[in-house]
């Protein structure tokens, strides 16, 4: 199967996870990182999930899954070892036209979760189409040393000048050329060295617009 890779905006959207073990814990962490509203359905939780529930960072229904539990959800993940439960979740999610992933059961998924490397707003997703997730993890580990906090900071600064650049340079082709010039410049290297004033000056020199002064270095 060929998958269409996308990034979902889950902010404030209800996402339901069935199961309370270590696998569910990893799924919950990823959903919280995307600012989703997470409801967890499981009779028992790992200590880490119990802590999230105590802190009210997730909603916990302390019981087994019941048909109807996916009402109002945008996305559902079933992370249990119970085939019957996983099948029920799959059936209900399809009836409700929801995005659904049954962990380690590709035929019961209409989306699969990639291995993700994050640095601030930078997200690199690697997928093996469900065939060998371990390979995706190893590739992510190999790429990780190439990506650092300087890339996250670059995106913060670059994002602060996008609107003003668009107002100043209405030509998309011109803006695109400037963005490539910026990315290919020494700005990220300067940020890696900790010289943000020089990086900001270089950005202004290239783009003709200075990064937002309110986004000063800590």
CA distances from 91 to 98, 108, 119, 153 (A): 10, 9, 36, 43
Supply the pLDDT for residue 218.
46
**Rounded Cα gap, residues 165 and 185, in angstroms:** 18
β-pairing, 59-61 with 115-119?
unpaired
Supply the pLDDT for residue 58.
98
Supply the pLDDT for residue 51.
98
Helix ranges restricted to H, the chain: 22-33, 47-54, 83-95, 133-143, 149-159, 162-168, 172-183, 187-192, 196-207
Supply the pLDDT for residue 94.
96
Question: Which residues of the chain fall below pLDDT 50?
Answer: 218
Supply the pLDDT for residue 22.
96
Instruction: Determine contact, residues 5/29, Cβ cutoff 8 Å.
Output: no
Instruction: Determine contact, residues 81/103, Cβ cutoff 8 Å.
Output: no
Supply the pLDDT for residue 182.
97
Q: What is the architecture, at CATH level 2, of domain 14-113?
A: 3-Layer(aba) Sandwich (3.40)
Q: What are phi and psi of 24, to 5 degrees?
A: -60, -35
**Rounded Cα gap, residues 93 and 45, in angstroms:** 23
Supply the pLDDT for residue 3.
87
Q: Which bin fits 136, alpha (ψ -120 to 50), beta or left (φ > 0)?
A: alpha
Give bridge partners of residue 125 from the DSSP assignment: 116
Supply the pLDDT for residue 212.
85
Mapped onto helix, strand or coil, the DSSP state of residue 177 is helix
């Amino acid at each position: 199967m060929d998958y269409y890779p996308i990034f979902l905006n889950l902010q404030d959207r209800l996402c339901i996870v069935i199961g309370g073990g270590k696998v569910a814990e990893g799924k919950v962490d990823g959903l919280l990182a995307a600012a989703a509203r997470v409801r967890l359905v499981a009779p028992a939780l790992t200590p880490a999930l119990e802590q999230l529930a105590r802190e009210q960072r997730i909603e916990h229904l302390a019981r087994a899954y019941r048909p109807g539990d996916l009402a109002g959800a945008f996305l559902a993940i079933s992370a249990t070892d119970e085939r019957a439960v996983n099948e029920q979740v799959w059936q209900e999610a399809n009836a409700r036209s929801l995005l659904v992933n049954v962990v380690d059961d590709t035929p019961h998924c209409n989306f699969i979760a990639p291995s993700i490397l994050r640095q601030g707003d930078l997200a690199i997703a690697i997928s093996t189409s469900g065939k060998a997730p371990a390979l995706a993890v190893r590739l992510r580990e190999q790429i990780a040393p190439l990506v650092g906090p300087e890339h996250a900071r670059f995106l913060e600064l670059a994002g602060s000048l996008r609107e003003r650049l668009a107002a100043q340079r209405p030509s998309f082709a011109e803006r695109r050329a400037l963005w490539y010039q910026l990315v290919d410049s020494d700005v990220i290297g300067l940020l890696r060295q900790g010289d943000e004033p020089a990086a900001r000056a270089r950005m202004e020199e290239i783009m003709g617009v200075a990064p937002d002064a309110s986004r000063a270095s800590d």
